[in-house]
Amino acid sequence: MKLIILGSGGSVSIPRPFCNCENCSKARKKGIPWARTGPSIFMEEESILFDTPEEIRMQIEREKIKKIKHVFYTHWHPDHTQGLRIFEHIYFSHPDKPKKELVNVYIPENAFSDFEKFCSSIFFPEKKGYIKINKIQDRVPIKIGTTSITPLDFKRKDRVRYGYLIEQNGIRTVYAPCSVFDISLDEYYQNLDLVLMEIGWFGNTKERRAKLPKGHAWHDHISFEENLEIIKKIRPQRTILVHIDGTRHLNSDANHDFLLKQAKKYKGFNIDIAYDGMKIEL
């Protein structure tokens, strides 16, 4: 299994436009790994893409990706979908391409109404004949060549969010980039070789939440401490933390060196920090 982390950022990329803080300035000057683009990964076998952030065209160019056949969406949020014009680029890169080669797009059944309501633009490329949208069911695997992709509803009470179990030749990887707070862990999260999971916010969870105003996002967004508890429960062979959000660009956790130091504190858990262009072979 060969994976590329195309974008390791979160809802906001870093550097942030017009910001000259220490972290944004460093990211602007040094580039990767301090600079991060929107969340997405690519599986080389079968040419499978997960999510299309705003920067997806540039990510594809940067990694010299030749073909995309399948795209799986985790949820409708703009940082995961607003590069969907990539389908038009793909289609017109081969004007004489037969319709049988349309990109297969997969949207989980439980998330479909969210896409209809909040991201209706996804249906435009289907009307134009660029893609074929497939509605997929929770925990029902999709077979693509030698690879099996199983959508995993996190089963949150307040919103619909998905990750995916990727299986190939006995290797098991879960991609859960966003909104894993209050995730329902079942047998699909056991015996994993790799977990790609959002990093969460740093600090003492109870103390910081107690001081937050009502309605603050961190009340229902996972902390780094809570992520560690998930890792302890499922015990994957390796964990790579993704979705490193530029909204925290003024804090130390926007600095790649700081994040690496935090990961090294937990040697027994084999935790690493994602960066754009990171290549993984299992």
The CATH superfamily holding the domain 2-281 is Ribonuclease Z/Hydroxyacylglutathione hydrolase-like (3.60.15.10)
pLDDT of residue 155: 95
pLDDT of residue 185: 96
Residues 6+ apart with CB under 8 A from 62: 6, 276, 277
CA distance 203 to 185: 24
CA distance 24 to 245: 12
Amino acid letter, 173: T
CA distance 277 to 105: 23
pLDDT of residue 167: 98
The tens place of each residue's pLDDT in the chain, 282 residues long, gives 999 999 999 999 999 999 999 999 999 999 999 999 999 999 999 999 999 999 999 999 999 999 999 999 999 999 999 999 999 999 988 766 655 579 999 999 999 999 999 999 999 999 999 999 999 999 999 999 999 999 999 999 999 999 999 999 999 999 999 999 999 999 999 999 999 999 999 999 999 999 999 999 999 999 999 999 999 999 999 999 999 998 889 999 899 999 999 999 998 899 999 999 999 999
Tell me if 241 sits within 8 A of 272, measured CB to CB. yes
